[in-house]
Chain A
């Protein structure tokens, strides 16, 4: 009889010790999570624990802040990519336009040079007239004065 009570007590004690150990481990894990949440929230600039008299749940404000930061980073990256892409397109368009203008100017200069050489070769006895002056005006990109 006494032996049976002792065994029962032993069994209950073992179970209680097990439950206590399980609970302690749970507490330990919970404490670690709480520490982690507190430091992460501090890094995000919000307190994990809500202020007194606040109806917010613990971590609610902090989670909102973290969501805001994530959204900010996403939006910023997206806008930055857009700005960089626009700048690249703008640069390409300017370069192409300028290349076309440079080509036009070079062609005009080549044509003027050709005409100038011909007019210069046609000069006799250093007497220059309308043809030579006209070619010179074209070489300089000028129009003759109006009369």
Chain B
């Protein structure tokens, strides 16, 4: 039996680190009803979860390629 290590590396562009866009300006005020606020919070949580999952996946294939997103 001859065992050989087989690397299965995804395409390079699939391993590119996601670039986080700029967030909301903090020097503005707005009138947001509760339902809109909840929707914005849901989107924010979904985005951070998906991004963290993607960065973990990228790090799994090429360790250290992505630093954890600065929060």
Chain B binder among A10-18, A40-48, A51-59, A78-86:
A78-86
Per DSSP, chain A at the interface is: helix
A interface size (C-beta, 8 A):
43
B interface size (C-beta, 8 A):
40
Is B71 on the interface with A (CB-CB < 8 A)? yes
In the complex, the answer to whether A128 meets B29 with C-beta atoms within 8 Å is yes
Say yes or no: A83-B71 contact (C-beta < 8 A), given A101-B56, A137-B24, A141-B47: no
Is B16 on the interface with A (CB-CB < 8 A)? no
In the complex, the answer to whether B3 meets A120 with C-beta atoms within 8 Å is no
Q: List 9 interface pairs A-B (beta carbons < 8 Å), by A numbering.
A: A109-B49, A112-B71, A127-B29, A128-B29, A139-B45, A142-B21, A142-B24, A144-B25, A145-B25
Interface residues of B, Cβ cutoff 8 Å to A: 1-5, 20-34, 37, 40-41, 43-45, 47-49, 51-52, 55-56, 59-60, 63, 68-71
